[in-house]
Structure 1
């Protein structure tokens, strides 16, 4: 439909001429650092001694520094199509799930504990949310969780 007609100039434009002149001047020049080995970066002694870790009161202990972890489990716990109940009182909800030494323990609302061999640490890690606090003693943790 529409055709563009390009006009070809017999001579290069003024901008093209300046570009060609500048290119010819810079052709044999190599910027410093190109083609040679990179220079060793200067080491700043001030930067090397900066402590960028959190202060101790803000650090979260790693899993190997904890004796165990605990989470509430309000709903009934169903394993292998069977609802888990306390062996002594028959409670089947409001559990505290304890993970310690690669074992899972269930604590009923009455305070009785039983080991649950059908659960493992991988299940606990998938099911537990982020820790909201750390406690020095087991009793402090129970109080924090309302037991």
Structure 2
């Protein structure tokens, strides 16, 4: 009995034979227009967007920043400014794979418990780009 099952499994079924036959006929069914289009050279286009609509890449940006009004808590510890003690109203800066926190008073401190992946998870897409750091702070209301 097991010998019959093995023989049956070794031979392709009728549906498999029909499928293989159809696959073998496919190259002969390509329309001539497709072959002609493949043979014609295509024009090389620089880019579909004009320069003023292109989004700058990460290496063209000095960094990214976002406003963060809630308190930041890491490992059960509330993050506060080292100089003035403020714990909310942060501006979070992501630059050169580092995260910096800026309090409303303008003090900045490096936050080693955060990384760029955390920043990307907790912020949305950029709504604007600015030429200077001060312009961006004004845009965020600081």
Specify if TM > 0.5.
yes
Query: Which residue pairs with 1:39 in the alignment?
Result: 35
Question: Residues 61 and 81 of structure 1: is their aligned pair in 2 closer, same or farther, counting only changes over 3 Å?
Answer: same
Unaligned runs of 5+ in 2: 1-27
Secondary structure of 2:65 counterpart: strand
Aligned to 1:22: none
Q: Deviations over 1:81-132 (max 9, x none)?
A: 0110001111000000000000000000000000000000100010111100
Query: Which residue of 2 is the match for residue 108 of structure 1?
Result: 103
Give the 5 Å matches for 1:51-130.
51-130=46-125
- CA distance in 2 between counterparts of 1:81 and 1:108 reads 20
TM-score (norm 1): 0.69
Pair 1:35–1:112, CA change in 2 (3 A): closer
What is the TM-score when the length of structure 2 is the normalising length? 0.72
| Distance in 1, Cα, partners of 2:118 & 2:73 | 13
SS at match of 1:90: coil
1:145 aligned to 2:101?
no
Alpha-carbon distance between aligned partners in 1 of 2:61 and 2:99, rounded to the nearest angstrom: 15
Unpaired segments of 5 or more residues in structure 1?
1-32
Q: Compare the two structures and name the one with the higher helix fraction.
A: 2
Aligned-residue CA RMSD (Å):
2.3
Question: Taking structure 1 as reference, are residues 65 and 76 closer, same or farther at Cα in structure 2, changes over 3 Å only?
Answer: same
Q: How many positions carry a matched residue from both structures?
A: 113
Q: 1:119 to 1:50 in 2, by over 3 A?
A: closer
Task: Name the SS of the counterpart of 1:71 in structure 2.
Answer: strand
Cα offset for 1:43? Answer: 2.4
